[in-house]
Amino acid sequence: MQTAIPCLLFANGPSQLKLLGGTNTEFAPDIDYYEMIFQPVAKRFNFNFNLNIVRRGYYPKGGGDVRISINPIEQLTAIDLTDFGQIKRFFGRSFIAGNDSIEIANEMAETAK
């Protein structure tokens, strides 16, 4: 996604991506980063993309399915990223996969508090 989206911004027409593999892996941004951080910043640059998490895929098995659609733009809008503003809320998410108990997710959430 990090390399595809900037290229598709200036394509000749709308683009759709079907990305298969890990959505929540080690040593890479989780899909939630793109949904909750990158997408809002992209809107400030005046481009939008739709992101649909069909299925999450976890390390090492993968199996995730993410769909992205993006329309091309003429140019990016310049923005100022030096004023961070005030923190309005702070939250976290905890996921488990396979046969792991929900108690593991609950313990992670309690530890984060």
pLDDT in tens, 32-66: 999 999 999 999 999 999 999 999 998 888 999 99
Q: Which two tokens stand for residue 53?
A: 């998490």
> Residue 22 above 80 pLDDT?
yes
Cα–Cα distances (Å) from 92 to 43, 57, 68, 99, 112, in that order, read 22, 19, 24, 22, 8
Backbone angles phi, psi at 31, to 5 degrees: -60, -30
Alpha-carbon gap, residue 80 to 37, rounded angstroms: 16
The predicted structure's pLDDT at residue 64: 96
Residue with tokens 């100022």: 80
Region 11-26: mean pLDDT is: 94
Region 72-86: mean pLDDT is: 91
Residue with tokens 């923190």: 87
Model-wide pTM > 0.95: no
